Amino acid sequence: MIRRFRLVAMAAAALLMVSSGAALAADDADSDDGDDDREDTVFTFGYDADNHVLVTGLSAAGSVYDCTLSGAFTLSYGETTDRLRPVDAVEGAEGPAEFAPRDAADLDEGLTPALAPIAYDAPDNPCQLTGLIVAGPQGQVNHGQVVSAFSHALKGSAKGCVMRYIAGSDFGKGADQVKTGDVGETVEVAASGTIDLETVLADCDKGKSNKDKDAAKDKADKDAAKGKPESPGKSGDAPGQNK
């Protein structure tokens, strides 16, 4: 089953949770007050050190299902394509992973509440994960390589707001480091692996909004310096037009 690489992520109905096990992104509420401060994106991540696979998933905080995954899990991987490994199955201590419906009050506008949980392997599950093989061209693994691989996978995505979670992790450090002399020319990835997953809330839309506001302000300042009005208005409002 081919699964899109959700780094980065699903509907901007595109996706997280305030439920147990979710670690909140503490620094993300550092701008304007009000609705713009809402954490809008659910980011799940973890590192399968045995297989050198970084696993991530993105979803919208107001989506129909709570995509939280926190704790130890066994993952089953699909076929690798361009270093990406779809995660076909997720199983925890209590069995196959499933996701609870959100309350109607927590959903994005226009969404209808679900009547029952959805299993991870359901075809329409919005909480899918994707694995990224982070080993370098000579099989080396270190923290810089993990961050670089993730950054490259995010290229062209508006979800760079979650980059700091990977950059601030210990993935690829210490015992997880692999030197070029320790591996062969190819990196073998097993069909399954164990991993500790964590889910956090991020404020991705706000970050984009602030960038747009800053750009607009810069333009307004430059126009003002050139003597241009902030709002040119309509030609019909020019002196002599409306009498």
Q: Are 131 and 48 in contact (CB under 8 A)?
A: yes
Closest C-alpha among 90, 56, 51 to residue 73: 90
Helices (DSSP H) in the chain: which residue ranges?
Answer: 143-153, 163-167, 204-225
User: What is the model's pTM?
Assistant: 0.69
Per-residue model confidence (pLDDT) at position 137: 80
Q: Are 83 and 155 in contact (CB under 8 A)?
A: no
3-state secondary structure of 15: coil
Token representation of residue 65:
């299902």
Per-residue model confidence (pLDDT) at position 242: 42
Domain boundary assignment for the chain: 22-227
Per-residue model confidence (pLDDT) at position 204: 86
Per-residue model confidence (pLDDT) at position 144: 94
